[in-house]
Structure 1
């Protein structure tokens, strides 16, 4: 198998910098309650660490700009866009939290390998780093598959940056465990491929047993009571004793993990809960402009909904008004149910729903803005949510009564 683990760089901070480009190149932290949950690399260079208290972070970096990250909606929506984009390359995409995805690219690699062999081309270059700077042997088909995998991983990263403006790291290896472990070797915005001969170096380099994905805090505490603190301890520990302590299935699973063995499949995650798109700009100050912006956002959204196949039942409009004091906290939203007669038209012909949807969104807009007074918007966002499957048999159709 060839598995890619894609891990986005300081995800919440990146989303905030995309929403508010003025924040780029400034030390930025995302705050939830009294904690800085993540920060951008500018802030990290100045000593701000993940999960630091706001007080400590401000002491370390007085010029730190803090954005409230308690509403997870923008992160969730961007996260689904990433998974959706990866799904265009390959159906086997598994989400892990908001900022990580596993992609099983085994089939794509096989196709490319066959193309290479048919064309008689033997020059294939690795994209990114090779773990441990290990020499690649293109005569070894396992190496060759992983090298092709590294090229595909680079295509993923380029597409995520071109389409969504996000950077991320990637790890390419023969299973989920190893791809996740190797993806963070070089950060940010870089990628690493792990060849099988370097697997033990990677896994033995973990300084604590809890660094092994799949071994949680409860299990690692129990292992510590047995004197097992790192991977080498676990590899050397008698299997029979471990099975007696933890039960056969857990003992066998974690001992396999300690050798870098992981046969768990990449399981595609469920579909997204909403579809949204937004546009930020310097100034939008007339109803005509607002309508134009909404008309620009809708076709892409309707296309995504059409491909998804479900029908949205709620639509939301979000605006951000310009403020010289609070540049990024001035968001306001209104939402309403989509009328049933419109819901039926989704997925059939998008032009049939465009005009009535624009009318609904303009009504939501007027609930937030008094158009008789001057206004200055810097962002518009449209979101469709409450997605439901199409009814399989419609009541009232003759088939229902037969």
Structure 2
């Protein structure tokens, strides 16, 4: 795939730069973005003063006494800006025909092979060295075909592949300039023939610059890279490679044990930190590994799939494709971890925080101009239950525990943007998620959580759960039928009212019945919870249906005595 042309764009210190763009007074001062007790990023003035990413806030303030702290725990504004930048770049590169992949909130991979090929095949317009690259009817730019834009690693040997990279360097510069013009944010870029190389080389001259890596220099450049800087080479690889290649003491060997057999071991953040700390002064480069072991050895150490992958990476072979990101996410998930969570009150508090964030993200990611454009069908709750720590080699190693998940239909009231995120979150937690959690722990005498995850999934372009009342609406072309007289009203009085007044009264009646139904559901839920807690109900398998249809149990209507599924009960009682 060496004929590919890949551009990697990376927004410089994104959170901090965004804050400076909306508050220019920050530009000339060292400042950092805080989430909880950690510095998640900072501007370059702060970095020059000794502040580091992922540093404790107390340590950052010690390093820079004049450090200004900006709270970044609510990332909605960053997420919105990131989405707008992605859409901007995607539109410039062809819209639905583009190949732009998001990586987090601040990085984009762009496969521009087809655009560059088309540009070259059409015969570049312009006289002499000055050419014009036409993206569409509205967007084009001129470039000097004899000069590379930005920095270069390796020489331009004049091949077709090199010419394509040269043209792509000007396209990258245009995209970066367009982002700055539209959003007042600088970015860095990498241009090469694969995602791996484009990402690595993009970090060479940050911030606000770009670098092109030509094929002739691929291996020489790669050989100098430390393995820990390569995406995908994580703890499982490093614990073996460090032990095989690095000189280390017996104390280090016992602190970071070589566990080649335990590929599915649960790894804690502490263990990862210990490993990197133990070998932080031992650079392990691609060249050291590539020149020492063969492919068969790597396969013996890591298995066929992972060993072959690492061998290819060591030799600059990365065939992973740029997968175009959707305009809308397939799911939205939020989670939080903690040391302990043992009571329903604690669960309720955590769920409120998470669900407020979740709904805020839904509002930002699934709406346009105040209208919903995607509708998740399900809400999923995934708690992780703590298990006892284990002792290995005399070291107490905390275990993450097991995660379990349950899903239910997402209530329609979540889409009511006239109500605040907090209001909708409390309604969703109290009416749906917390009752689901209670059922998940029913029968457990004691439980302790260290993580909660809440997600919405199964996105639809239209609301798929049509209400009962929609079946009573006349089909297109049919004549409206008179609205039926509400219970308790004289037929002659009702018939004398005009249609507008009838519809107004029906809406008022519907709202009153919705309130009544909501109170009834809440009352029944309390009764059910009390009964379960007192162990006075039937066994769980009798009270609750199977997992596949656990949420389809019914509620008996007090008016007609029919058993109606819970998801339809509210609308059922609102019918005349």
TM-score scaled to structure 1, two decimals? 0.68
Bigger shift: residues 110-119 or 181-190 = 110-119
Matched, 1:127 2:127: no
Matched, 1:85 2:88: yes
2:461 paired residue among 389, 394, 397: 389
Aligned length: 304
1:151 paired residue among 157, 167, 170: 170
- 5+ residue gaps, structure 2, are 130-143, 247-283, 331-363, 377-412, 424-455, 477-576
2:31 paired residue among 22, 28, 49: 28
8 A Cα contact 2:375 2:463, kept in partner: no
Residue 68 of structure 1 is matched in structure 2 by 71
Residues 126 and 116 of structure 1, relative CA distance in 2, 3 Å threshold: farther
C-alpha displacement of 1:97: 1.4
Higher RCO (C-alpha under 8 Å, 6+ residues apart): 1
Bigger shift: residues 104-113 or 16-25 = 16-25
8 A Cα contact 1:127 1:151, kept in partner: yes
Residues 121 and 255 of structure 1, relative CA distance in 2, 3 Å threshold: farther
SS in 2 for 1:185: coil
8 A Cα contact 1:309 1:389, kept in partner: no
Instruction: Give the distance between the partners of 1:117 and 1:76, measured in 2 at CA.
Output: 38
Q: Which has the larger radius of gyration?
A: 2
8 A Cα contact 2:375 2:462, kept in partner: no
Bigger shift: residues 72-81 or 251-260 = 72-81
Matched, 1:240 2:312: no
Matched, 1:97 2:104: yes
Residue 51 of structure 2 is matched in structure 1 by 48
SS in 2 for 1:234: helix
8 A Cα contact 1:47 1:61, kept in partner: yes
8 A Cα contact 1:36 1:50, kept in partner: yes
SS in 1 for 2:368: helix
C-alpha displacement of 1:172: 0.3
C-alpha displacement of 1:32: 1.6
SS in 2 for 1:30: strand
Instruction: Give the distance between the partners of 1:22 and 1:312, measured in 2 at CA.
Output: 40
8 A Cα contact 2:328 2:374, kept in partner: no
1:211 paired residue among 229, 233, 250: 229
Matched, 1:18 2:37: no
C-alpha displacement of 1:213: 2.1
Residue 198 of structure 1 is matched in structure 2 by 217
Instruction: Give the distance between the partners of 1:46 and 1:252, measured in 2 at CA.
Output: 43
Mapping of residues 2-401 of structure 1, within 5 Å: 2-90=5-93, 91-116=98-123, 124=145, 125-131=147-153, 134-137=154-157, 139-206=158-225, 208-227=226-245, 229-236=284-291, 237-272=293-328, 305=368, 310=373, 389-391=461-463
TM-score scaled to structure 2, two decimals? 0.48
Instruction: Give the distance between the partners of 2:127 and 2:220, measured in 1 at CA.
Output: 34
SS in 1 for 2:33: strand
Instruction: Give the distance between the partners of 2:80 and 2:415, measured in 1 at CA.
Output: 20
8 A Cα contact 2:176 2:186, kept in partner: yes
8 A Cα contact 1:212 1:258, kept in partner: no
C-alpha displacement of 1:120: 8.0
C-alpha displacement of 1:217: 2.1
Q: What's the C-alpha RMSD, in Å, of the aligned pairs?
A: 3.2
Instruction: Give the distance between the partners of 2:177 and 2:65, measured in 1 at CA.
Output: 34
Deviations 1:65-84 (A, max 9, x none): 00111122112221212211
SS in 1 for 2:74: coil
C-alpha displacement of 1:225: 2.6
SS in 2 for 1:87: helix
Residues 246 and 104 of structure 1, relative CA distance in 2, 3 Å threshold: same
Instruction: Give the distance between the partners of 1:61 and 1:393, measured in 2 at CA.
Output: 55
8 A Cα contact 1:312 1:388, kept in partner: yes
Instruction: Give the distance between the partners of 1:203 and 1:77, measured in 2 at CA.
Output: 35
Instruction: Give the distance between the partners of 2:374 and 2:108, measured in 1 at CA.
Output: 26
Residue 530 of structure 2 is matched in structure 1 by none
C-alpha displacement of 1:59: 1.7
Instruction: Give the distance between the partners of 1:118 and 1:61, measured in 2 at CA.
Output: 53
8 A Cα contact 1:80 1:272, kept in partner: no
Instruction: Give the distance between the partners of 1:311 and 1:259, measured in 2 at CA.
Output: 43
Instruction: Give the distance between the partners of 1:84 and 1:147, measured in 2 at CA.
Output: 25
Instruction: Give the distance between the partners of 2:120 and 2:187, measured in 1 at CA.
Output: 26
SS in 2 for 1:226: helix
